[in-house]
Structure 1
Amino acid sequence: MAEEPRVLYRKQGHVARITLNRPDVLNAMDLRMHEELAAVWDDFEADDNLWVGVLTGAGHRAFSVGQDLKELVQRVENGEPPSTFGSRGKPGWPRLTERFDLSKPVIARVNGYALGGGFELALACDLLVAADSATFALPEARLGLIAGAGGVFRLARQLPFKTALGHLMTGRRLAADRALALGLVNDVVPTAELDTCVDEWVEDLLRCAPLSVRAIKEAATASLSMSLPQAFATRFTWEERRMHSEDALEGPRSFVEKRPPKWTAT
Structure 2
Amino acid sequence: MTALPLLATETSQPLKALRIDRQGPILFIELNTPDQGNAVTETLLDELLAVLDARDPDIRVVVLSGAGADFCLGGDRSEFAEHLAEDPTGAGIRVSGTKARRVCEALTDNPAVTIARVQGRAIGAGLALALACDLRVGADTATFRLPELALGLPTAWGGLLPRLLAEVGAAQVRELILTSRAFSAREAQDLSVLQNVVPEQELDAAVMAWAKPVLRRSPAALRVTKALLNAHAAATRLADATALDSELMASVLAAAEYDRAPENRRTGHLV
Q: TM-score, normalised by structure 1?
A: 0.77
Distance in 1, Cα, partners of 2:201 & 2:104? 29
Instruction: Indicate yes or no: 2:113 matched with 1:105.
Output: yes
Shift of 1:16: 0.4
1:16 to 19, 27, 31: 27
Q: How does 1:181-260 map to 2 (within 5 A)?
A: 181-226=190-235
Report which stretch shifted further, 207-216 or 196-205.
207-216
SS of 2:116 mapped into structure 1 = strand
Q: What amino acid maps onto 2:104 in structure 1? A: T
Match for 2:114: what amino acid? V
1:260 is matched with: none
Q: Is the 8 A contact 2:45 2:103 kept in 1?
A: no
Residues in 2 aligned to 1:224 and 1:70: alpha-carbon distance in whole angstroms: 34
The offset of 1:77, in angstroms, is 2.0
Q: What is the DSSP-based 3-state SS (H/G/I as helix, E as strand, rest coil) of the residue aligned with 2:148? A: helix
After the TM superposition, which residues 13-52 of structure 1 pair with which residues of structure 2 at under 5 Å, given as runs?
Answer: 13-43=24-54, 45=55, 47-52=56-61
- Identity level (%): 35
Q: Output the CA distance in 2 between the equivalents of 1:204 and 1:187.
A: 16
CA contact (8 A) 2:101 2:159 kept: no
Unaligned stretches of 5+ residues in structure 1: 228-266
CA distance in 1, matches of 2:116, 2:192: 15
Distance in 2 of aligned mates of 1:105 and 1:189: 20
Aligned 8 A contact 2:61 2:211 in 1:
yes
* Partners of 1:124 and 1:189 in 2: CA distance: 20
Whichever residue aligns with residue 226 of structure 2, its letter is K
* Matched AA of 2:65: T
Quote how far apart the aligned CAs of 1:196 are. Answer: 0.8
CA RMSD of aligned residues (A): 2.4
AA in 1 matched with 2:162: F
1:161 is matched with: 170
List per-residue Cα deviations over 1:44-73 (Å, max 9, x = no partner): x2x1221110001111x2111111111211
CA distance in 2, matches of 1:90, 1:167: 22
C-alpha distance 225-217 of structure 1, shift in aligned 2 (>3 A): same
Q: Which amino acid aligns with 1:213?
A: L
1:166-181 alignment, distance < 5 Å? 166-181=175-190
User: Residue type of the partner of 2:207?
Assistant: V
- State the number of aligned residues: 222
Quick one: which of 65, 75, 81 aligns to 1:67? 75
TM-superposition CA deviations, 1:210-236 (whole Å, max 9, x none)? 222221111122123549xxxxxxxxx
Q: Tell me, yes or no, if the aligned pair for 1:87 and 1:93 is still in contact at 8 Å.
A: no
Equivalent of 1:95 in 102, 105, 108: 102
Q: CA deviation digits over 1:230-261, x for unaligned, max 9?
A: xxxxxxxxxxxxxxxxxxxxxxxxxxxxxxxx
- The Cα of 1:88 is off from its aligned counterpart by 5.5
CA contact (8 A) 1:38 1:94 kept: no
Residue deviations 1:76-108, cap 9 Å, x none?
122253379x96576846632233642221100
The AA in structure 2 aligned to 1:79 is: D
Alpha-carbon distance between aligned partners in 1 of 2:98 and 2:113, rounded to the nearest angstrom:
24
Q: Is the 8 A contact 2:116 2:137 kept in 1?
A: yes
Structure scoring higher RCO (CA < 8 A, sep ≥ 6) equals 2
Q: What TM-score comes out, normalization by structure 2 length?
A: 0.75
Give, in whole Å, the separation in 2 of the partners of 1:216 and 1:164. Answer: 28
